[in-house]
Amino acid sequence: MEKTPQSQQDSQLETIYLAGGCFWCTEAVFDRVRGVMDVQSGYANGHVDNPSYEQICEGTTGHAEVVRLVFDPQIIGLRQLLEIFFATHDPTTLNRQGNDVGTQYRSGIYYSDALQAEVAREVIAELAPEAGGPIVTEVLPLQSYWPAEDYHQDYFRQHPEQGYCAFVVSPKVQKFRKSFSQWMKPGA
């Protein structure tokens, strides 16, 4: 696992990797979630070491655009994080989120232990009857993770007026605020 405990409190933190289409969208939502201590955009479960964004866009590396979430389960549990995840992207479209098409935009949950996998499968089973179609989210162990380039980190926060951010990312953030206000960080 990537975390290195620096204090007793840090040792209680957990990490999960979520792919919900473009990582700018997913990161913008989870940056605002109470109990999420760190969000980093990156690439997971591909077969190329340290891929570039350009390589990812070619769709040949096998990676998914993901966010690495470090969270405090004493504040928010994995179940609640996954409920937010499923409500803020479409888990019924294979390799696609809106106009973003390709395997890098697939829906996925990449876990680091058996308990995380179990919770993910339980949440999917509970949501499946009302999903509007089969949930195609893959639930797999994390095989590899590479941080995205610096310019992708905190993209929405730095460029809220950019077209994609205004028309695609912002509505997802607003949906989170409306549907999950109890989990919103103060001032988010």
Which of 22, 25, 57, 165 is catalytic? The answer is 22
Burial class from Cβ neighbours inside 10 Å (0-12, 13-18, 19+) for residue 130 reads exposed
The amino acid present at 100, given as its one-letter code, is D
Question: How many Å apart are CA 28 and CA 39, to the nearest integer?
Answer: 9
- Are 41 and 30 a contacting pair, CB within 8 Å? no
Q: Across the strands, what pairs with 78?
A: none
99 Cβ contact list (under 8 Å, min separation 6)? none
Q: What is the DSSP string of 106-131?
A: -EEEEESSHHHHHHHHHHHHHHGGGS
Pull the structure tokens for residue 122. Answer: 């339980």
- Asked if 57 is an active-site residue, the reply is no
Burial class from Cβ neighbours inside 10 Å (0-12, 13-18, 19+) for residue 55 reads middle
- Are 104 and 75 a contacting pair, CB within 8 Å? no
Catalytic residues, by residue number, are: 22
